[in-house]
Structure 1
Amino acid sequence: MSRTVDAYVGLGSNLDGPREQIERALEALERLPLTGRVQASRLYVSAPVGPVDQPDFVNAVARLETRLSPLALLDQLQALEQRHRRVRRRRWGPRTLDLDLLLYGDRVIDTPRLRVPHPELAARAFVVVPLAELAPELQLPDGRRLAALREALPLDDGLQVLPNNPRDE
């Protein structure tokens, strides 16, 4: 693939220094092959989805300019998770690093390995809020506007900006 595509990646961690896990992952995203210019949202704290017997998550969203194909990008993201010692013990369980390919340009992808836009994107404040920070005018491939999704979220969804956020400086 020769043209550059904007891809959005959701980041989450709730184990082994979650803030540091996210910061290191953002640095690693900048070094992905055929990928440049990484922008990142502020860091947020959110309650876990699914099992509540785990620590809160630190979340962010990154925008990448990449020439990697969607599956090649997914491979890179999964390799990065493995370098962060990601272990998949249970669905929605605790993890050192979770990287989700949220959007890949205006493409709709539905394969056994990858679904883009991410199927849960619109329902999760810890994705919509930081994504809106990076791209407030964004329109999803199905025509929904990100601003409308943001407005539809409950005001008290438990999402909080992480104090002393390096992205606020």
Structure 2
Amino acid sequence: MNKVFLLLGANLGNPTMQLAKALEKIESQVGKIEACSSLYESEAWGVTDQPKFLNQVALISTSLSPLDVLDKVQAIENDLGRIRISKWGARVIDIDILYFNHDCIQHERLIVPHPYMPDRRFVLVPLAEVAPFFKHPKLGITTNDLLAQCEDNLTVHPYNPNDNNAIQAD
């Protein structure tokens, strides 16, 4: 079985519901969810003039190939209403492949490990919850070490729906 780390994110509509629906579809169409991080709220990265994001990392066991996983998660995004308008823009759901086993994949449709992962706290914080000692196959250092070295200063914190400043469902 292949082990795949996925990052899920959403900042439009009802992000908590969309992430939950995405996980249901991943389990039924991609493979067994072995571990899942808590939900984390973060400021938008890249294009900052947009709502905060909710993010979560899931570890999946699957018999699918990397490109088959990509096709499945993109179909799930489409099913949940994802429209690709702008890079790093607001979205109802985003599912990225962070790692596929310890493989390094350089394909026109897929680069693994995810190339921006070391630069993004919103990826590393939930990934550290699920796999703190997983070693990046190119850099040879753990998730905890990547997080310690990350220069991204955007706020990432556990999601608390009762916080008055938290993301609210539409």
1:13-92 residue pairs with structure 2 within 5 A?
A: 13-33=10-30, 35-92=31-88
**1:153, CA displacement in angstroms?**
3.1
**1:20, CA displacement in angstroms?**
1.0
Structure 1, unmatched stretches of 5+, are none
**1:107, CA displacement in angstroms?**
0.4
**1:38, CA displacement in angstroms?**
3.6
Secondary structure in structure 1 of the residue aligned to 2:18? helix
Contact 2:12–2:90, Cα closer than 8 Å, also in 1 = yes
Alpha-carbon distance in 2 for matches of 1:155, 1:80: 29
Contact 1:29–1:38, Cα closer than 8 Å, also in 2 = no
**1:51, CA displacement in angstroms?**
2.1
- The question of 1:5 aligning with 2:2 is answered yes
Contact 2:121–2:152, Cα closer than 8 Å, also in 1 = no
Which amino acid is the alignment partner of residue 129 of structure 1?
V
Alpha-carbon distance in 1 for matches of 2:152, 2:116: 18
Contact 1:8–1:63, Cα closer than 8 Å, also in 2 = yes
**1:39, CA displacement in angstroms?**
1.7
Structure 2, unmatched stretches of 5+, are 163-170
When normalised by structure 1's length, the TM-score is: 0.90
Give the alignment partner of residue 118 of structure 1, picking from 114, 117, 124. 114
Q: Output the aligned Cα RMSD.
A: 1.6
Number of equivalenced pairs: 161
Which amino acid is the alignment partner of residue 46 of structure 1?
S
Which amino acid is the alignment partner of residue 153 of structure 1?
C
Alpha-carbon distance in 1 for matches of 2:121, 2:63: 28
Contact 1:71–1:114, Cα closer than 8 Å, also in 2 = yes
When normalised by structure 2's length, the TM-score is: 0.89
Identity of aligned pairs, percent?
A: 38
The alpha-carbon distance between structure 1 residues 130 and 29, as it changes in their structure 2 partners (threshold 3 A), is: same
Which amino acid is the alignment partner of residue 150 of structure 1?
L
